[in-house]
Amino acid sequence: MFDDFLIRAALAGIGLTFATGPLGSFVVWRRMAYFGDATAHAAILGVALSFAFGTSVYLGTLGVALAMALTVARLSGRGHAMDTVLGVLAHSALAFGLVAASFQSGLRVGLSAWLFGDILAVSQADLVVVWAGAAAVVALLAWRWQGLLTATINDELAMASGHDPRREQLALTIALALTVAVAIKIVGALLIAALLIVPAAAARQFSRSPEGMAAGATGVGILAVLLGLWGSFRFDTPAGPSVVAAATVLFVLSLPLRRRG
């Protein structure tokens, strides 16, 4: 019989993958891996500010992650080189977050949990937040699905079809910030982007449609969560990194499937 904390961890991880599966597919299609990294790194600054002002970590993280995502989108739209902007902001946000965290004695001791996640410490209240956040992300992506797909293919095609590419980018930005906010306690700021990208990259090998890839990425993510938790319990390894490691193994195993399709 599994312990309650393992069941809560599995439910939290599974709930998160319902958001990271379809969202990660768009991250892969749009080549936004570094964008996700910058948003996730900014989450540490949100955690530090939440501790400093005594507010909810989820709300603080969401606010800072959303501000970072909107800033990146605004600067890249003004002609700045996207990779340079993302590189500067990602590392700067992480550095300022770590510096701010060093002034919070309670946060400094448990900082590794926010960097690498602590899925085994998920509470019932955290489960509610994770599933509610994942449901909001799925609802947003489902609502804007066709517009997002069209804008991903081509901005001009999206405009001709009656979809505003900037509006679709905003929807994707909000979804990414919300996912980062609910994921930080599970896999940590340094591993969020990996959980977005790796299952989607694995699903890409055997998927024949955008919807199939989104569903496949969710399935790979769920399997990675279960395998990662099993490995963590069996070999006494960190749970968050174990989940990402399991996802990476599944990605490697998926590579031959591309040649069969």
What single string gives the DSSP state of each residue in 154-178?
A: -HHHHHHTT--HHHHHHHHHHHHHH
CATH of 4-190 given 3.40.50.10150, 1.10.3470.10, 3.40.50.2300, 3.40.50.1370: 1.10.3470.10
Q: What is the CA radius of gyration of the chain?
A: 18
- Residue 87: the pLDDT is 79
- Residue 109: the pLDDT is 59
pTM of the predicted model as reported, rounded to 2 decimal places: 0.91
More confident residue, 25 or 257: 25
- Residues 23-75 pLDDT 10s: 999 999 988 887 888 888 888 999 989 988 888 888 999 999 899 888 877 77
Rounded to whole angstroms, the Cα distance separating 197 from 191 reads 10
- Residue 197: the pLDDT is 95
* Domain boundaries, given as residue ranges, for the chain: 4-190
- Residue 2: the pLDDT is 52
- Residue 157: the pLDDT is 85
